[in-house]
Chains A and B, each alone.
Chain A
Amino acid sequence: MKYVDEFRDPETIEAAAREIRRLADPSRHYRIMEVCGGHTHAIYRFGLQDLLPENLELIHGPGCPVCVLPMGRIDDGLELARQPGMIFAAFGDMMRVPGTRGTPLEHQARGMDVRIVYSPADALEIARKNPDKHVLFFAIGFETTAPSTALTLKRARAENVPNFSVFCNHVTIIPAIRAILDSPDMRLDAFIGPGHVSTVIGCRPYEWIAENEGKPIAVSGFEPADILQSIVMLLGQLERGESKVENQYRRVVPREGNRAALQVMAEVFELRPYFEWRGLGFISQSALRIRGEYARWDAEKRFDVPGVRVTDPRAAQCGEVLKGVLRPAQCKLFGKECTPEQPVGALMVSAEGSCAAYYNYEHRKRAARNLVSLR
């Protein structure tokens, strides 16, 4: 409970925690997945699991775009950028993500022109300012970043910027949830829906989860009180035998999403027949590619992409952790071969990956406790 005092509304948090204990049936074991990496981070940071009854387990989902990106895609992007006259532009989150021959930063140290950008619009601006170079923007992210890439591509086309292209790795969250639900070892009872992705896509895309799969879902904010209230909503639905989409984050998430953002995505992108997710394998219609009208700005059409495939080591059990079959620390590699400093599996790669979040908060806390008890 040590974090509770830091919040403006400790009473709300304590009331929600009490309500959760009241609603949770002691004869059941609940597994609730938070889909979004931001929620995972908040849950660990605020120690929310400590406020929950023992028979309620939070499973950390696939909503960290850096984590689920296959290493082969990074290799492909860096391989294209090795050609003379290329500038590799990507968000800062990508810079420490290892490819087979090192991270983008390590490639920079070996002479590649690598630029951190904070917006896809800035990558296009670098292209405008460097007409003798080609800027390859390595695009990643879910629906929170995909509309910005789409709008940037529209501008590149409207201005006919010749020396700019996008290596598109945008993914969409719904098919990943479907893949997890379809897996035979799936054991989830309900979902905490992503907050900011939903500002773009709205609440309707989740309806099939509730209607066809019978799993309640609550789109949630990021405050501890938000997350706990979402769990109250979900337990209430489970108790009443309902399954519907509830919007706990109504103050920010409109039911219809952002129409302009959805429209520009539909104009510029189309669904790939399938795409590989680290830890989950190939998922059909789970990622975006650039439409034919924009082929000139599509790095995959403009250049010969090697199409590298790198399989995760068999010993890494990321898929089982993602589906809630194993907890992070139950993976054989956790904290030994696989750490945030030397990630082997997908979920250690970014601070929002469930294994890295678990390692950073729980593992170190325990290690510190052990040291104290030894004295």
Chain B
Amino acid sequence: MCLAIPAKIVESNPENPASGLVEVLGVRRKVDLSLLTEENPSPGDWVLIHVGFAMSKISEQDAAEQLRILRLLGEAEAALEEVRGYGSSTSDGGEQASKPRK
């Protein structure tokens, strides 16, 4: 929940900002770009995502740094798991959630 996940916008539609497509480490998922409309989020832009919503536009270099820091903190896996989880919900989440966090 507290992870800020860097992602690259792949598709965005100003008519429907709630349904942008982003890519994180090769995983593509729908995220909500509505809170960034003032900044005109466009394909190729990098953003920081919190719980499925893009909250800020960042540079490509900062995105790479944020990804590196997630790896060093041992949280890159958790970030990927979160991104994969967007648009889904599990009722059998026991195994995932009971994994000890490092």
A residues near B, CB below 8 A?
A: 6-8, 37-38, 41-42, 45-46, 64-66, 89, 91-93, 95-96, 105, 108-109, 113-123, 125-126, 140-141, 144-145, 147-148, 151, 155, 195-196, 199-200, 222-223, 251-252, 254, 258-261, 264, 351-352, 360
Are the CB atoms of A148 and B50 closer together than 8 Å? yes
CB of B87 within 8 Å of the partner chain: yes
A360 to B48, CA, bound (A): 28
A145-B50, A147-B35, A264-B35 given; A116·B2 CB < 8 A: no
Are the CB atoms of A151 and B89 closer together than 8 Å? no
Set A41, A115, A223: member contacting B65, Cβ < 8 A: A223
Q: Contact mask B30-65 → A, CB, 8 Å, 1/0?
A: 001011111000000000101111011011001001
Set A46, A108, A144, A151: member contacting B94, Cβ < 8 A: A108
Closest Cβ–Cβ distance, residue B72 to chain A (whole Å): 7
A147-B55, A199-B48 given; A95·B72 CB < 8 A: no
Most B Cβ at <10 Å: residue of A8, A41, A46, A118? A118
Are the CB atoms of B52 and A105 closer together than 8 Å? no
A120-B51, A144-B4 given; A252·B56 CB < 8 A: yes
A140 to B96, CA, bound (A): 19
Most A Cβ at <10 Å: residue of B69, B96, B102? B69
Are the CB atoms of A116 and B98 closer together than 8 Å? no
Set B34, B35, B73: member contacting A45, Cβ < 8 A: B73
Are the CB atoms of B62 and A122 closer together than 8 Å? no
Q: Which residues of chain A are near B53, meaning CB under 8 Å?
A: 119, 121, 147-148, 151
CB of B16 within 8 Å of the partner chain: no
Closest Cβ–Cβ distance, residue B66 to chain A (whole Å): 8
CB of B93 within 8 Å of the partner chain: yes
A120 to B35, CA, bound (A): 14
Q: Which residues of chain A are near B72, meaning CB under 8 Å?
A: 6-7, 45-46
Q: Which residues of chain B are near A6, meaning CB under 8 Å?
A: 72
Set B50, B89, B98: member contacting A125, Cβ < 8 A: B89
Closest Cβ–Cβ distance, residue A140 to chain B (whole Å): 7
- Could you jot down 17 A-B contacts, CB within 8 Å? A37-B2, A38-B2, A45-B74, A93-B2, A108-B91, A114-B93, A118-B51, A119-B32, A119-B51, A121-B32, A147-B55, A148-B50, A151-B34, A196-B50, A199-B4, A261-B55, A264-B35
Number of residues from B at the complex interface, CB < 8 A: 43
Residue of A nearest to B61 (CB): A251
Are the CB atoms of B37 and A115 closer together than 8 Å? no
Are the CB atoms of B4 and A116 closer together than 8 Å? no
Q: Which residues of chain A are near B96, meaning CB under 8 Å?
A: 92, 116
Residue of B nearest to A199 (CB): B56
Are the CB atoms of B62 and A251 closer together than 8 Å? yes
Set A37, A42, A122, A144: member contacting B89, Cβ < 8 A: A122
Are the CB atoms of B85 and A118 closer together than 8 Å? yes
Q: Which residues of chain A are near B68, meaning CB under 8 Å?
A: 8
Q: Which residues of chain A are near B86, meaning CB under 8 Å?
A: 118-119, 122
Q: Which residues of chain A are near B97, meaning CB under 8 Å?
A: 92, 95-96, 105, 116
Residue of A nearest to B74 (CB): A45
Closest Cβ–Cβ distance, residue A73 to chain B (whole Å): 16
Closest Cβ–Cβ distance, residue B18 to chain A (whole Å): 8
Residue of A nearest to B49 (CB): A119
Residue of B nearest to A117 (CB): B89
Are the CB atoms of B32 and A148 closer together than 8 Å? yes
Are the CB atoms of A123 and B65 closer together than 8 Å? no
A155 to B102, CA, bound (A): 35
Residue of B nearest to A121 (CB): B52
